[in-house]
Structure 1
Amino acid sequence: MRNLITDVRGLLVGQAHDADAATGVTVAMFERPTVASVAILGGAPGVRDTALLEPEMTVEHVDAIVLSGGSAWGLAAADGVMAHLAGQGRGFAIGPLRVPIVPQAILFDLLTGGAKPWAKGGEEAPYRRLGAEAAANAGADFALGTAGAGFGATTANLKGGLGSASARAATGQIVGALVAVNAVGTATIGDGPHFWAAPYEREGEFGGLGWPAGIRPEDLGLRFKGGAGQNTTIALVATDAVLTKAQCKRLALAAHDGLARALRPSHGALDGDVVFAAATGHSGAPSDAFALTELCATAADVLARAVARGVHAATALPFAGALPAWRDRFRG
């Protein structure tokens, strides 16, 4: 177990970034067409091809899922992933043609430093290129923190980042999470180093600090970053179980509990919180509703851990006024 979403069989992750622009792309590549759904609980999402993931829609499988920076500009990343998949003969069959199915969610990182001339017109944004590079780079190991879709991500008080975690559910199946943490609020408690996700930590994966000695009323005060459209935490949870689209929808909804456990606040009008869920089908189906609930609870736990890991692993951007990273403020 790598403690990464790639512990789920049938799934690889690729990443690419533009350091000068402080933005990037993360792609979950499925080794075969995979059942997936989505749940959007934030008030300001940016998405592509998510309507087809609803259980009543016709298309049953996806080929990849993209998480990207760049706000609406970043939606072009899926074009690059589609081009890569088409070159492999992947996609939904329509006569002699293939259309790769690549849903996507984006986050806002346009104001966190770096040169973004395309946002002023006259130059093409890099996201199609970054999407293709990320797809080509897909593998079992990948970087956390200031990487991929989390490269330019921030929280209200610290640098955000790309996080991942995994666990074996009581059913024996593997569940993993992948998240780009760009929250309107905080992943840490008050002014200290402790993470809201502390009760779910395993083996000191984000510092091993546990809870603080006490949580004061002022620690519960909300801290906000930016304005409308300037935030979004986007994630994928996946399992190697066999699930239907409706069960994937339930998995995505339940996994949002992980965001609520790890970020304060979450699911607000200023966040675009999106969670995809996918089932690669390499192990058996849940035996009953209780077994499905085990998978759902595990998904929420691993997503909470992934959020904290993304912030814990991040490094600060080298720009004036950039937020400090957790490691800059608290390590040692």
Structure 2
Amino acid sequence: MTTAQPSQTGRTGERNLITDVAGLTVGHASHEAVNSGTTAILCDLPATAAVQVLGGAPGTRETDLLEPHNTVESVNALVLSGGSAFGLDAASGVQAFLRERGQGFQVGPHRIPIVPAAILFDLVNGGDKDWGRYPPYRDLGYQAAAAAARDFSIGTAGAGTGALTATFKGGLGSASTVVAGEHVVGALVAANPVGSATIGDTRHFWAAPFEIGDEFGGLGLPVPFPADAGDLRIKFRERTRAVANTTIAVIATDAVLSKAEAKRLAIAAHAGFARAIWPSHTPFDGDLVFALATGASGRRPAPEAFLDLCAAAASTMCRAIARGVHAATPDPRDLKPAWGRDQV
């Protein structure tokens, strides 16, 4: 009798960021007074893309075109933004930045940058939302695109600037995994769930079994495990509304994938939400995962290797969520404490 051999998925990429996937850059822009921000993910070359929405309250732009049966095969960028529905303006700023550089889908003499977007609700977070006639997100989108680079900040940055969880401040997280030496999988996430990324009233992360090194504190699982760990910690339960939360994310790989395979990767990455957040995918979250396949490796995975990619999509997303909460920094206006508030 033979035993199954584990896949080699235990190491991060060089940066432990989504930009370890060749062909991607990431930029942030934040508005301090509003306590919100935007993150742009730019593709060096058009990348195959898909999306999967499992939350009950999504806010999106241009997600229908990502379905496998629809015509446009690739995108130029993706946007994650705070601001609720106002934040969808950020995609227009990224689109303007790309158009100035001649990037986009060719239609006759015109180039139309394809920039799907998703938003989270961060209007109730201590920031000043009296911004006048127009919200700042279009300008933030342009600034985020202009700032795009291989290295970028996590925690209280970009789309994670004003994010909150039920127990601690939320944030912008990222992680990467080298899969069996063949491909890289990277995740980027703005964690703003109705639930909690930590176990009960402890500082231990639900994502602990997937932690590599001490990338989000190295605490492991609590011992003994709290008897009330399964109790629901719900953010602002007394005023919960169907638009008041949401975790939005991107899962990416350098593999060559079809749109249908990219959608399967996005579906698999949602398991990372379920491993890292309790509860997840609620009626009061707009939980969404975009998938990007840059194809930079030049290799299409065999079916068994694609299984490894899907597993890595879940574990990498799980780690990215914990890293975003772990890296959040305190602010006097915070309605929830930052995870590392007492740490030197």
What does residue 35 of structure 1 align with?
48
Residue identity matched to 1:109? D
Match for residue 95 of structure 1?
A: 108
TM-score, normalised via structure 2 length: 0.93
**Number of matched pairs:** 327
* Among candidates 123, 133, 136, match of residue 126 of structure 1: 136
| Residue 311, structure 1, aligned to residue 325, structure 2 | yes
Amino acid in the other structure paired with 2:113: P
1:4-33 superposed Cα distances (whole Å, 9 cap, x missing partner):
000000000000000111000001000011
Taking the aligned partners of 1:214 and 1:104, their CA distance within structure 2 comes to: 42
Give me the whole-angstrom Cα distance separating, in 2, the residues matched to 1:214 and 1:229.
36
Cα RMSD for the two superposed structures: 1.1
Match of 2:6 in 1: none
Residue 197 of structure 1 deviates from its aligned partner by: 0.1
- Paired with 1:87 and 1:317, the residues of 2 have a C-alpha distance of 36
Among 6, 11, 19, the alignment partner of 2:32 is 19
Deviates more, 1:149-158 or 1:279-288: 279-288
TM-score, structure 1 length as denominator? 0.96
Shift of 1:215: 2.0
| TM superposition shift of 1:171 | 5.5
Q: Specify the SS of the correspondent of 2:285.
A: coil
SS, match of residue 217 in structure 1: coil
Distance in 1 separating the partners of 2:307 and 2:298 = 15
Distance 2:331 2:234 in 1: 20
CA distance in structure 1 between the partners assigned to 2:155 and 2:301 by the alignment: 36
Aligned counterparts of 1:187 and 1:115: Cα–Cα separation in 2: 26
- Secondary structure at the aligned position of 1:282 is classed as coil
SS of the equivalent of 1:235 reads: strand
Equivalent runs, 1:201-212 vs 2, <5 Å: 201-212=211-222
- Partners of 2:255 and 2:301 within 8 A in 1: no
Q: Distance in 1 between matches of 2:108 and 2:298?
A: 32
Rounded Cα–Cα distance in structure 2 between residues aligned with 1:312 and 1:172: 29
Structure 1, unaligned runs of 5 or more: none
**1:62, CA displacement in angstroms?**
0.1
Q: Look up the match of 1:63.
A: 76
Matched, 1:285 2:299: yes
Whether 2:284 is the aligned partner of 1:270: answer yes
Query: 1:243 maps to which residue?
Result: 257
- Which moved further from structure 2: 217-226 or 244-253? 217-226
Amino acid at match of 1:82: Q
Instruction: Tell me if the contact between 2:200 and 2:233 (Cα under 8 Å) persists in the aligned partners.
Output: no
Aligned: 1:162 with 2:176: no
CA deviation after TM superposition for structure 1 residue 66, in Å? 0.2
CA distance in 1, matches of 2:201, 2:296: 43
State percent identity of aligned pairs.
58
Q: Secondary structure at the match of 1:255?
A: helix
Q: Is 1:35–1:280's contact at 8 Å kept on the other side of the alignment?
A: yes
The Cα shift of 1:110 comes to 0.4
Contact map agreement 1:241 1:282 (CA 8 A) in 2: yes
| Cα distance in structure 1, aligned partners of 2:277 and 2:335 | 20
The CA deviation string for residues 179-238 of structure 1, in whole angstroms up to 9 with x for no partner, is 000010000001111000001001100001111112233111011113121100000010
Higher alpha-carbon deviation: 214-223 or 244-253: 214-223
Query: Residue 157 of structure 2 is aligned with which of 147, 151, 167?
Result: 147
Listed one character per residue, the Cα deviations across residues 106-146 of structure 1 (whole Å, up to 9, x for unaligned) are 0000010111114xxx4210000000000000001111110
Q: Distance in 2 between matches of 1:192 and 1:157?
A: 9
Provide the C-alpha distance between the structure 1 equivalents of 2:78 and 2:332, rounded to a whole number of angstroms. 29
Q: CA deviation at 1:89?
A: 0.3
Structure-2 change in CA distance of 1:109 and 1:19 (3 Å) = same
1:171–1:291 contact (8 Å) kept in structure 2:
no
**Deviation for aligned residue 1:322:** 2.0
User: Where do 5+ consecutive residues of structure 2 fail to align?
Assistant: 1-13
The amino acid that maps onto 2:179 is A
How far does residue 61 in structure 1 lie from its aligned partner after superposition? 0.6
Note if contact 2:207-2:276 (Cα within 8 Å) is conserved in structure 1. yes
Partner of 1:252: 266
> Which residue in 2 is equivalent to 1:178?
188
Return the alpha-carbon distance in structure 1 between the equivalents of residues 335 and 271 of structure 2.
30
Letter in 2 for 1:188: T
Q: 2:243 aligns with which of 226, 229, 232?
A: 229
CA distance in 2 between partners of 1:277 and 1:59 (Å):
15
SS of the equivalent of 1:125 reads: coil
